[in-house]
């Protein structure tokens, strides 16, 4: 192996780390990525909206039933077209990651990191705009009138008698772990 090649290829250990990263991305698809818990005096146990890459879970019907009092439109999988294709994007990223591990080329790794960062930022913006859409598009005929609001992606918010807690789900932690695993080779195989 000559020097120039050594500079552009990374080590087997790094390849293994990237393989593990691909595995974590795949695993993340089976866990919720984000959730919002609604607490009220009558709901000390909390009502959940749990977002998976491909579905919504939790007490969606109950939340929708209550939301009509403030004129908010219904949460449903139908209203989130992202849920129909997000899983393929994630699958694609896992595939790319695995390919990177096989190719062991630094340039490809840089590209991959860039793509994942881009997809991540897009996802966060998408969620933010969705929350904004729900919180600000309130029906003018609602029995209870409240000021428009935008729930945060992470953190607490108060709406009428509800306090909402938004938080990241297990899936996203797997993705973050996967992303960290991709960064480690950059440091480990840095040119000394």
Partner 1 sequence: MKKWIPIASGLLAGFVAATISFADFSTKTNTEAASSTKSNAEKVYVPFGEKDDYYLFASGGHSGQMFIYGVPSMRKIRTIPVFSQDSATGYGFDEHSKKLMGGYTWGDLHHPAFSETKGDYDGKWMFATDVGNSRAAVVDLKTFTTKDIIKVPNTAGPHCAAFVTENTEYMFLPTRFAVPLGQKYESLDDYSAKYRGVMSAVTFDEKNVKLNIGYQVALPPWSYDLSDAGKKGSADWAVMTTYNTEESTTTMEINASQADRDYIVLFNWKELEKMVKEGKYEEVDGQKMIFPEKQKGGIYLVPVAKSPHGVDVTPDGKYFIASGKLAPAMTVFSFEKAFKAVENKDFAGERNGIPILNYESVMEREVNPENALGPLHTQFDDKGMAYTTMFISSEIVKWDPKTGKTLDRVPVQYSPGHSVSAEGDTVAPDGKWLIALNKIAKDTYLSVGPSHPESMQLIDISGKMKVIMSAPVDPEPHYAQMIKADKIKTINVYPKDTKNKDAVYKQSETKIVRKGNEVHVYGIAMRSRFIFDAKSKRPDVIEVNQGDHVFIHLTNIDFDEDITHGFAINSYDLNMEVQPGQTNTMEFTADKAGTFPLYCTNFCSALHQEMNGYFLVKPKN
Q: In angstroms, what is the minimal distance from the CB of 190 to partner 1?
A: 12
| DSSP letter for each residue of 52-99 | -SS-EEESHHHHHHHHGGGTPPPP-GGG-THHHHHHHHHHHHHHHHHH
- Number of residues located near partner 1, criterion CB under 8 A: 28
Distance CA 2, CA 130 (A): 52
Residue placing its CB nearer to partner 1 in the complex, 65 or 148? 65
Contact flag: residue 70 with partner 1 (CB under 8 A): no
Taken as a whole, the chain contains a residue count of: 192
Distance CA 56, CA 48 (A): 10
Alpha carbons within 13 A on the beta-carbon side of 154: 6
Burial of 150 (0-12, 13-18, 19+ CB in 10 A): middle
Site for partner 1 in 116-175 (CB under 8 A): 143, 169-170, 172-174
By CB under 8 A, name the one of 10, 15, 17, 101 that touches partner 1: 17
Site for partner 1 in 26-55 (CB under 8 A): 27, 31-32
With contacts defined by CB under 8 A, name the span among 75-83, 87-95, 102-110, 178-186 that binds partner 1. Answer: 178-186
Residue placing its CB nearer to partner 1 in the complex, 146 or 150? 146
Q: In angstroms, what is the minimal distance from the CB of 59 to partner 1?
A: 8
For 174, other C-beta atoms within 10 Å of its C-beta total 21
Q: In angstroms, what is the minimal distance from the CB of 56 to partner 1?
A: 15
- Given the rule CB under 8 A, which residues bind partner 1? 13, 16-17, 20-21, 24, 27, 31-32, 59, 61-62, 65-66, 69, 143, 169-170, 172-174, 176-178, 180-181, 184, 188
């Amino acid at each position: 192996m000559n020097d120039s090649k050594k500079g552009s290829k990374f080590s087997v250990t790094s390849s293994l780390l990237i393989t593990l990263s691909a595995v974590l991305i795949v695993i993340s698809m089976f866990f919720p990525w984000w959730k919002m818990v609604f607490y009220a005096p009558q709901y000390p146990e909390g009502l959940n909206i749990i977002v998976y890459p491909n579905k919504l879970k939790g007490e969606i019907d109950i939340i929708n039933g209550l939301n009509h009092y403030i004129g908010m439109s219904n949460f449903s999988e139908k209203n989130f077209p992202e849920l129909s294709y997000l899983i393929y994007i994630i699958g694609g990223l896992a595939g790319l990651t695995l390919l990177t591990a096989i190719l062991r080329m630094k340039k490809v790794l840089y590209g991959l990191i860039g793509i994942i960062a881009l997809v991540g930022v897009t996802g966060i913006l998408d969620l933010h705009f969705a929350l904004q859409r729900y919180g600000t598009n309130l029906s003018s005929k609602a029995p209870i009138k409240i000021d428009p609001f935008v729930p945060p992606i992470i953190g607490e918010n108060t709406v009428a008698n509800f306090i909402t807690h938004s938080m990241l789900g297990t899936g996203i932690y797997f993705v973050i772990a996967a992303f960290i695993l991709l960064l480690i080779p950059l440091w480990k195989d840095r040119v000394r």
